[in-house]
Every structure is written in structure tokens, then in C-alpha cells.
Amino acid sequence: MGLFEETCKKITPKDTSIGEAVQAVWDRETPYGSYGKLVDMVKQYAMVTRQVSPTIPKRCMIIAAADHGVAEMGVSAYPIDVTVGMTQNYLIPKGAGANALGNYCGTDMEVVDVGIKADMTWVPGLRHNKIRMGTRNFLKEPAMTKEECIKAMEVGIALVNEKVAEGYNVFLVGEMGIANTTASAVMTAKFAGITAEQATGRGTNISDERLKVKQKVVHDALVKYADIDQNDGLGILHSVGGLEFACITGIILGAAAAHAMVIIDGFNTTACALVAHTMAPASMDYVMASHLSAEKAHVQALKTLGLEAYVNLGLCLGEASGGSIQMGMLDLAIRMYQELEGGHQA
């Protein structure tokens, strides 16, 4: 049995008895409902990490980067060279939005190359786990083989296992890869049972003409892979997904197996959660939504998972931007709880 299968078998539901104990503290010290969703944040974090008295999380932002063969269809406003530029930007000048927001929420950062279509060995600090030089164009053939997909998931699982051993218990996930919202649109349409038009947004703020191209690509992909069942997460992921999506799916599964939390970001990382949900439904106990993406199908993707965004800021950055903001709110909620709990014990 490989790491992927072993990890899925280890995933168990959250401990609801801990949630009841946490709720009792809130109820004892404040009028019921006064702090709204801040209560839910603390309860979820406590239940999944098995902490009756939750501590401030040790957090790690993981950005997975890879290129998409479908980019050759002209679905993005930018060339795939941007993936190289943005990835090095996280680690050399450290001037990306992810760096600024990561500093805001006090997170360490790991950036992993699982499939950038370029030599990235010159970038210091980058984790070099390239499975292949980008995915294939899924309109011509499956984006990855099943074996490549599983290898990419196991990159994410192994990284989580390493970080959990170092004491990390919350992971913020982000992605970088030109044309990745096209892949997410196909995946979301498959999982949520919606049309290409309903699933396809503007991604990198593309023009009306390019949006029509993108919608047709998504439509044609749905026709090509119509025989894949919506519950076949591995089949959907390897056929139309991305290597960075597989890595993030592995992060979600690995975190759930290790009783750690994952804060997903926007449309792309929610597509990864849709995959993880089919593989291990209980893994969703360990996933916290953050913001509502500007991508129009994101709300439907979250609804399919039974999740709800905490904030709506109109962000379309990716890069764990919404997760960073959510991490700040989770910190606040836990500190409030600690004050209430400490006051009661005193």
C-alpha cells in the first residue's frame, strides 16, 4: 500500500465532544450567539486538532506551482512564463501579495515546484519536486497519468508529514499556474453538475472574446470526459486537473490524517477540496473556507462541499491570500476564547 492509500485510511472524523466543551465555555461567558462565526472557527480548530484548550496555531503557507498544457488554447491573458516569474518572486525579491499577506498573519512559507515547464533549479529555497514539465493539454489527452497524479499528491502528503513533525498544525494553501482556473472550471462543473458557462469565470480578468474561448474549452472538455463519474475524484483530477492541484489535494488529505487544519483559499484550492472530498469525505472536517472568490462558480463549489466563505472581499489573487486573512481572524477568535476560558478558571 502506497503513501496515498495509507493516508486516506488514517482519516477519521473530528472529535465533536471537544466542540461541545468549547461551546460550553462560550455559552457560559457570553450571551449565546454574540460572537457568531468566531465561535465556529474556534470549535472547528479545537475539534480537528484535538485540543480542549486550543493554543495559537503554528501555521505554514504552502504554495504549489505548475504549468498547464491547456494554456496553449489561449485561455489566459498571460503566457506560461509568468509561472516562472511569480514563483521566483515568492523566494527572491519576496514581493508578491502572498509574501505581504503571509507577513501579516505571521506564517512561514514553503513554495514547491511540482510541474513548472522550465528549469527552476536556480531558485533558492524552492522545493524541487517536479513530476513532469507541466500537464498535457487535456483537450488532446488526459492532463496526467494516474501514476503522475498520485506522485504529486504524495509530494503534498510528505510535505505535511514533515511540517507536522516540526509542530505545525494549520496549513494555508495557495497555487500558481497559468490557465489553472480553466482546469478548476472543468473540475467544478464535473463535481457540482453545472454547465461550462456556469463554471467558467474570467480568471486573470480576460476579455469577452477570450472568455468565449475559455468557455468553449471547458465545454469541449466536459464532452470529452463525460464518461468519468462525478464521484471519481482521481479520474477527474488526473484527466483535467493540474499537478499543483494534486499536490494541494495531498496536503488536505495529509493534514486530515495528522489532525491538522487546512485553510483553503479561492476557486482553485476549493476544486482541490472537491477532489479530496470524494477520496475521503471525513477530510472536509479539517478544511476551513476563507474568502469568496471573484470566480462566479466558487459559491457553488463551496455549497457542494457544505462550506461557507467567511469574508467576501472580491479577491482574485490566489496565492493563499484569503487564507492569510482568515488566519488572522482565527488567531483573534482563539485569543478571545483563551481570555474567556482563563477568566472562568480564575
CA pair distance 210, 79, nearest whole angstrom: 14
Give the Cα-Cα-Cα angle 40, 164, 38 (nearest 5 degrees). Answer: 10
Q: 260 and 298 in contact (C-beta within 8 Å)?
A: no
Q: Which three cell numbers stand for residue 36?
A: 457568531
CA dihedral 117, 123, 129, 131 (to 10 degrees): 10
What single DSSP character describes residue 230? T
| Residue 251 to residue 173: CA distance in whole angstroms | 8
Q: Is 319 a catalytic residue?
A: yes
Q: Which of 175, 244, 295, 319 is catalytic?
A: 319
What is the C-alpha to C-alpha distance for residues 50 and 329, in angstroms, rounded to an integer? 20
Tell me the H-state helices in the chain: 3-10, 16-29, 37-49, 81-91, 97-105, 146-165, 180-192, 196-199, 208-224, 233-240, 243-257, 267-279, 298-305, 321-345
Rounded to an integer, what distance in angstroms lies between the CA atom of residue 80 and that of residue 242? Answer: 14
Residue 46 CA to residue 42 CA, distance in Å, equals 6
- Mind telling me the catalytic residues? 319
